[in-house]
């Protein structure tokens, strides 16, 4: 009875429902990096800003919730390091550090890890909790991206917010709403949701 209860407690995120701990974790970390890399290729440039609308942020939020603190943070670190090493999976197939949106990518590491930790605490089990979790992750990405944008473009805070936050609020609200529908539904489908 105690062993079954301990196994149930360890299933804190959706990724824990897959068997085979070490191989599973390595595959999930690599898969999270690749998922964000593929999502980065869904990019729509916006006039007047160097920051495009992409699928990256949604992928980071989903990966964080599905994988938990350690695996999500590591997956985003792998994404960043592989891109800087030459894998052409940043938006527009670029790699390296010579672009003003790198701060957002650096923020993916913290955002993925924090969203993962909140999911481990049950932050993805209901639509309302998922909204709070996803808003937290989104705010972290903005908090990392805007200062880097300021430095890269030599603009003040107001201009950086105008370029790197304001045009994306509606799209990010939609991403949060989608996650609030998808994640609790995924838990219901697995039959493994826990009341936290």
pLDDT at residue number 6: 44
Q: What is the pLDDT of residue 127?
A: 92
Alpha-carbon gap, residue 77 to 84, rounded angstroms: 11
Is the pTM higher than 0.75? The answer reads yes
Pairing of strands 53-54, 43-44: antiparallel
Q: Kindly state whether residue 10 falls inside one of the protein's structural domains.
A: yes
Q: Tell me whether residue 159 is in a domain.
A: yes
- Tell me whether residue 115 is in a domain: yes
Is residue 129, in this structure, part of any structural domain at all? yes
Query: For position 162, what pLDDT does the model report?
Result: 94
Residue 41 is part of a domain; what is its CATH number?
Answer: 1.10.1760.20
Q: Tell whether 170 is covered by a domain.
A: yes
**What's the domain count of the chain?**
1
Q: Is residue 100 part of a domain?
A: yes
**CA–CA separation, 71 and 75 (whole Å):** 6
Sign of CA dihedral 72, 78, 81, 87: negative
Give 10-residue mean pLDDT values along the chain (196 residues): 45 65 85 93 85 89 92 95 87 61 93 95 91 96 95 94 93 91 85 54
Does a structural domain hold residue 196? no
Most distant CA pair in the chain, distance: 61
195 belongs to a structural domain: no
Alpha helical stretches, state H, 11-126: 21-40, 56-67, 69-84, 102-120
Owning domain of residue 30? 2-190
Nearest to 32 by CA among 7, 10, 59: 59
Each residue's pLDDT tens digit, 67-99: 999 999 999 999 999 998 888 888 755 555 557
């Amino acid at each position: 009875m105690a062993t079954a209860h301990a196994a149930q407690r360890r299933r804190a995120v959706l990724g824990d429902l897959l068997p085979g701990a070490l191989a599973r974790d390595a595959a999930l970390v690599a898969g999270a990096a690749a998922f964000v890399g593929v999502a980065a290729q869904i990019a729509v440039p916006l006039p007047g800003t160097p920051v495009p609308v992409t699928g990256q942020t949604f992928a980071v939020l989903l990966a964080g919730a599905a994988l938990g603190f350690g695996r999500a943070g590591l997956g985003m670190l792998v994404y960043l390091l592989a891109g800087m090493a030459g894998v052409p999976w940043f938006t527009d197939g670029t790699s390296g550090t010579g672009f003003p949106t790198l701060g957002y990518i650096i923020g993916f590491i913290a955002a993925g890890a924090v969203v993962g930790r909140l999911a481990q605490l049950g932050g993805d089990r209901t639509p309302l909790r998922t909204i709070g979790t996803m808003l937290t992750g989104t705010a972290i990405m903005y908090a990392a991206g805007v200062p880097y944008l300021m430095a890269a473009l030599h603009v003040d805070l107001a201009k950086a917010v105008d370029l790197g936050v304001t045009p994306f609020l509606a799209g990010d609200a939609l991403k949060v709403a989608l996650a609030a529908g998808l994640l609790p539904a995924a838990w219901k489908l697995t039959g493994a949701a826990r009341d936290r």
